[in-house]
Structure 1
Amino acid sequence: MDIFILMESFSTLEVSIPPLYSTLASGLTIKGEEFQARDLVETIAAFGSLVSRTYTLHVANVVFPDGKEKPSSSHILGWDNSTNDWIFNETNWRNIDKALDLARHHGVKLIIPIINQDYGSSDTNWLIRHRYNIQNYTIAQQAVDWFTDREMIECYKKIISFYLNRINTFNGIRIGDDQTILAFETGNEMNWGYQNGSIAHDRPPPANWTIEIAHFIKLLAPKTLVMDGSYSRNPKMAWEEEALASPFIDLHSYHFYGEGETQPYHDCQLSLQNQVRVHKKTFIIGEHGFFDKEAVWEAFYKNITCAGALVWSLRSHSENGGFVTHGEGNNIYSYHAPGFRYQTSKKFDTQEADVISLTYDASYRILGLNPPPKPIPGNPEAFLVSNVTHAGISWRGAPWAQEYQVLGLSKFLHLNRN
């Protein structure tokens, strides 16, 4: 189903699902990969606005001294001088195919940022280092500007071309033509750093870079929206005027994290929204969260006036039983549906139940609908486990399940007879 008819009627309040791609590239069994992706998609499908945002392509980096991403979990393995092109991991690209096909079958629309910020911080600039064979990140940061280096711009286009021209191996749809994709984003939190060793990141990418990349995406996916992936971390200079005026960019976004950013949120959001609307574009909040009180979440949703907002972030059930967890630091963890009031693990966020419920309700109210009861879950998937000396049964959870009742065999047979 389509989420919007006109740009101004685009409305969504949802959660981001960064592991939709990364789960499928994490070295799990084929069954586990599909299970976790399906769990995420079926969870998102119950919200009022069937839109979510994935994470980016993963780049192998263990060849560098500070790298941690293994080839087995990556979509891009490195650079091949003999072909003058990137080396791609076909296994994990097939997993992207599967994730897109699952989303398509469940009517979930996706916003896809293509790459993570590659502007020079120590946990990024892998693409620059691969292309120029630079081991040290400081040297790479000072030697190559991602946004102005002509070779890196052309190399990024090679990634985009490979991505959007790819034919999905599960459904035969060219990815650039896949209506499952609501928008391609020029990147995640793209920010123009400085090459003088400064750690400051307070300006958006140059407008000419954003426009060139957006135009290239439009050429390959003319029926898909393009979202500006700029994140200046400076709301007074969120975008350059030329980017706002570009006909190749449909959506602009900003990220809000922590209570300090939400205190002046209403005025700030209105200012950003008005900047975008002047150019007849749509503004959304691409990520938000890390608020320390339920009241802040409530105020955030009450005061929102833009076309949509996406909470960071949601994790799935695990194929090994239980849930996948992810920490952001400072006792902040990713959420799980339907939300658990009491921590069953120290890696469950204490606000989880409230955040999921508030977001679920808001996802319907933004559409002018009364929130329905949360969905009735299906059956869990049981499987055998063993600790060498004893065998047992565990299960893979069902989307939106709060609890399970385990029946002994005699009780099960009694219920069946009746």
Structure 2
Amino acid sequence: MKWLNNTLLLCLFSAQTLAFEHFISRKGAQLFDGEHEFRFAGLHAPELHRIENDAKGVCAADPRGWGQYFQWPTADEQENWIKALTRSGHKAMRIYVLSVAQESDEACGRETHILAPLTKGGMPRLNETAMVVYDRMIMLADKHGLRLILPFIDHWQWWGGREQLAAFYDENQEAFYDINSKTYQAYQSIIKQVISRKNTLTGRYYYDEKALMAWETGNELKDTNQAFLENTVALIDQLAPQQLVVDGNYLELKEYSITNPHVDIISNHFYTTNNNNKPETIQQDLQQIAGRKAYLVGEFGLTDASILNNIMQTAVHHEYQGAQAVGAFIWGFRGHRHNGGFYFHKEYTGHYSYHLPGFVDAEENQELAVVDLVRLAQAQMRGLTKAPALPVPEAPVLRPINSLYNIQWLGAPLGQSYRIERSIKAEGPWQVIGDNISDGKQAFDPAKDSLFADKSSLQTGQSYYYRVIALNVSGESAPSNIQSFKFE
């Protein structure tokens, strides 16, 4: 049955979508989609393949004292998020790393992408459940026109990174950067397994997926050394010669990376804690690269919208000897929940993740201002002077109604408010029972929060029918599917 379902999905996918015509290529400091220059800006969406569910709090069994809860996104969620991104102007997206197993995962109910070896000293394994979710992300990115940048392993421990990988071999975390270590051998094995994987939904090998714009050595690999860089990027380039390679180092650009023939994109991340969250960092980096490679601001954020705008505008407009940044991503985005509301993440600075298309509910987070500055940058990179109007939202998906005090729906991509309608007949006529309803609450907790409650005086024994319509500044959607509820 699993084979049948995957085959059916593949057939439907092939019939309904046109794959990208070209791989993204590089000439000097520029990226190209065919003969057209390719530049991009956006909200960084790290969790298109794995969700950090902040609403569940912290797992006490995790000895790090951090230990969030994670889960795999549903197919509905993944497609909803990618639609929201592409329809708001996003052309490319960098996601977060592959997660590595650690001891507290079982106690915290967590699954990861990278599993421990079956035998001591063996190579790590890919979790097939996790990788099918990864397959689906790639399929949907191709379907809706989103190029992906995929980093391998994290310098940090939050999702399980180099420290957890090294623990498989009783080595310390520094062994990750040592090309003679068992940990580095395992890292190379992961790269080989992932790039050579055959997508169960598209039927293509990852190295043949045009939606995969670039592979990144990892996330914030700040201890990168020359031998590590040279061996890693040569391997990636050998395995995926038609896709680009990003050096995942940050803070200090390395000359040996800029001159390496296998590196296409030099990336940097800006945060106030590193004293580099400013436009001058872009200017300095472009000067150092001097047009020899493409330059990406892979992450910046956690500061005031006016500062973010100054950095973003510098990324859009600043040139050094004709070279500009190819892209810039503001940290970070979260998407709709399957049964209503949005996922969220609160950073140590007090800033929350951003939701599209932006909501008044998140005024303290300056969400509308941040979304606007991102969409302006996207337009400017296309030669426009202002962002185009948002498309009218598609219909939301109304979930089965189990309680009139908690009517749930998957929000429409780019929907900003909702109208709730009720009837005593499936064909109508329809009565408006709720208007201007928002699903944009910043820290939505599905265990406590309800999108909408029908508190009307209803007739016992009568069946009622419900539908939901999404609205934004450009208009309103078609009605959702209809769900019924018999009032007892």
- Of 110, 117, 141, the residue aligned with 1:79 is 117
The CA RMSD over aligned residues, in Å, is 2.9
**1:166-315 mapped onto 2 (5 Å cutoff):** 166-192=197-223, 205-231=224-250, 233=251, 238-258=252-272, 261=275, 265-278=278-291, 280-292=292-304, 294-304=305-315, 305=318, 306-315=325-334
Residue 379, structure 1, aligned to residue 395, structure 2:
yes
Residue 94, structure 1, aligned to residue 142, structure 2:
no
Aligned to 2:169: 131
Distance 1:261 1:368, change over 3 A: farther
Aligned to 2:455: none
Deviation at 1:87, TM superposition (A): 2.7
Deviation at 1:342, TM superposition (A): 2.6
Deviation string 1:242-301 (CA, Å, 9 cap, x unpaired) is 2211000000011112398467x33321121122235x2111100011112x32122222
Amino acid at match of 1:22: R
Distance 1:405 1:362, change over 3 A: same
Aligned to 2:49: 21
**1:38-187 mapped onto 2 (5 Å cutoff):** 38-63=79-104, 72-81=110-119, 84-117=122-155, 125-132=163-170, 140-141=172-173, 144-150=174-180, 151-187=182-218
Q: Which runs of 5+ in 2 are unaligned?
A: 1-19, 31-36, 53-68, 319-324, 432-488
Which is richer in strand? 2
Amino acid at match of 1:155: A
Which is richer in helix? 1
- Of 19, 37, 40, the residue aligned with 1:12 is 40
Amino acid at match of 1:350: N
Deviation at 1:130, TM superposition (A): 1.5
Aligned residues: 376
Amino acid at match of 2:282: Q
Amino acid at match of 1:145: A
Decide which structure has the larger Cα Rg and report it. Answer: 2
Aligned to 1:350: 365
Could you state the TM-score of these two structures normalised by the residue count of structure 2?
0.71
- Between 183-192 and 119-128, report the one with greater CA deviation: 119-128
Does the aligned pair in 1 maintain the 2:213–2:243 contact within 8 Å?
A: yes
Residue 397, structure 1, aligned to residue 411, structure 2:
yes
Deviation string 1:279-332 (CA, Å, 9 cap, x unpaired) is x2111100011112x321222222223221011111110012111111112221
Aligned to 1:197: none
Return the alpha-carbon distance in structure 2 between the equivalents of residues 49 and 5 of structure 1: 20
Distance 1:330 1:27, change over 3 A: closer
Distance 1:53 1:121, change over 3 A: closer
Does the aligned pair in 2 maintain the 1:22–1:73 contact within 8 Å?
A: no
Return the alpha-carbon distance in structure 1 between the equivalents of residues 141 and 268 of structure 2: 25
Return the alpha-carbon distance in structure 2 between the equivalents of residues 374 and 121 of structure 1: 34
Return the alpha-carbon distance in structure 2 between the equivalents of residues 255 and 118 of structure 1: 14
Aligned to 1:335: 354
Distance 1:384 1:122, change over 3 A: closer
- Of 353, 377, 390, the residue aligned with 1:362 is 377
- Between 330-339 and 217-226, report the one with greater CA deviation: 330-339
Counterpart secondary structure, 1:327: coil
Return the alpha-carbon distance in structure 1 between the equivalents of residues 402 and 103 of structure 2: 34
Return the alpha-carbon distance in structure 1 between the equivalents of residues 276 and 372 of structure 2: 20
Deviation string 1:108-167 (CA, Å, 9 cap, x unpaired) is 1001111111599998610000122x6xxxxx34xx532115122221110001000100
Return the alpha-carbon distance in structure 1 between the equivalents of residues 300 and 169 of structure 2: 33
Distance 1:83 1:167, change over 3 A: farther
Return the alpha-carbon distance in structure 1 between the equivalents of residues 80 and 136 of structure 2: 13
Could you state the TM-score of these two structures normalised by the residue count of structure 1?
0.82
Deviation string 1:198-244 (CA, Å, 9 cap, x unpaired) is xxxxxxx102211210110001100000000002x3xxxx1332221
- Between 310-319 and 327-336, report the one with greater CA deviation: 327-336
Return the alpha-carbon distance in structure 1 between the equivalents of residues 215 and 129 of structure 2: 22
Does the aligned pair in 2 maintain the 1:11–1:366 contact within 8 Å?
A: yes
Return the alpha-carbon distance in structure 1 between the equivalents of residues 389 and 299 of structure 2: 26
Return the alpha-carbon distance in structure 2 between the equivalents of residues 71 and 218 of structure 1: 36
Counterpart secondary structure, 1:328: coil
Amino acid at match of 1:62: E
Deviation string 1:323-354 (CA, Å, 9 cap, x unpaired) is 111111222111100111233xxxx8621111
Does the aligned pair in 1 maintain the 2:25–2:243 contact within 8 Å?
A: no
Return the alpha-carbon distance in structure 2 between the equivalents of residues 357 and 186 of structure 1: 31
Return the alpha-carbon distance in structure 2 between the equivalents of residues 375 and 261 of structure 1: 38
Return the alpha-carbon distance in structure 2 between the equivalents of residues 219 and 283 of structure 1: 22
Does the aligned pair in 1 maintain the 2:336–2:411 contact within 8 Å?
A: yes
